Structure 1
Amino acid sequence: MHIVSIVLQVLLGAAFLLFASGKLTGQQMQVDNFNHLRLPPWFRIVTGLVHVVGAAGMIAGIWVEGLASWAGLWIGVTMLFAVIFHLRVGDSFGKALPALVLAVLAFAVTVINGF
């Protein structure tokens, strides 16, 4: 199972670095998304920083025992909040599904690494 965890950690780490870069650089899609979710602009920056921390934890967790479990919990909870925010504004479940899938994958890393 260790290989499965490493693959998930690399994928999640890379994905969340990509997501963070869009949020932190003010990519128009991200700005529009946060406006749609009725969230203030400063929250986009905070979310980007949260993503950077989670991504760094995922990648560093390959070598630092226990860190991947915490990063999985960090990212998983963040993505559950994303699901809640989508549903709060009346988005369909399909719009919230990618965040839910990311949450499940992040929590899988937590479980695999024995949290």
Structure 2
Amino acid sequence: MTTAAVTQNPAQPRKIRNRVLWTLQILLGLFFILASGLPKLVGQADAVRSFQDIGWGEWYRYFVGVVEVSGGIGLLVPRLSGLAAAGLAIVTVCAAATQAFQLGSPGLAVFPLVLAVIFAWIARERLTAR
């Protein structure tokens, strides 16, 4: 075996990481636009009911819907992806806190916390790559 076959291209791990990041950004961006934000904005029954349980009023449901749709779109725009991921990390930590403390369902707080970690990683990678 030659040394050329054994040595790895130094740019290869960076390319793989970039592909993983873009795959996550696209999937999570579409999720936050279509499955999370839009149902809040159009008044889907489950979204309305969950925000009634929180007790902060209709304005809060619309606010969270706009933030989630904006964050989802931002994940898909290269210049905005780092800031969008940072914002969505904050949103998901707040969602976990709401689940755990306001709604009394700490078990349901795990999913948003996992998303917060993923968003924090995306934000770190995208904001430090500049």
When normalised by structure 2's length, the TM-score is 0.79
Query: Which residue number in structure 2 is paired with residue 2 of structure 1?
Result: 18
Greater shift in the superposed pair: 96-105 or 70-79: 96-105
Q: CA deviation at 1:6?
A: 0.2
Please point out which of 45, 48, 70 is paired with 1:31.
Answer: 48
Q: CA deviation at 1:91?
A: 2.2
1:14–1:55 contact (8 Å) kept in structure 2: yes
CA RMSD in angstroms comes to 1.3
* Larger Rg over CA atoms: 2
- Unaligned regions of 5+ residues in structure 1, if any? none
Identity of aligned residues (%): 29
Equivalent residue letter for 1:30: A
- Unaligned regions of 5+ residues in structure 2, if any? 1-16
Q: Which has the higher contact order (CA 8 A, sep 6+)?
A: 1
Please give the per-residue CA displacement for 1:13-63, whole angstroms capped at 9, x wherever unaligned.
Answer: 0010021110000000001111122221110001110011101110112xx
* Distance (Å, rounded) in 1 between the aligned partners of 2:107 and 2:54: 15
Q: CA deviation at 1:90?
A: 4.5
When normalised by structure 1's length, the TM-score is 0.89
Secondary structure, aligned partner of 1:60: coil
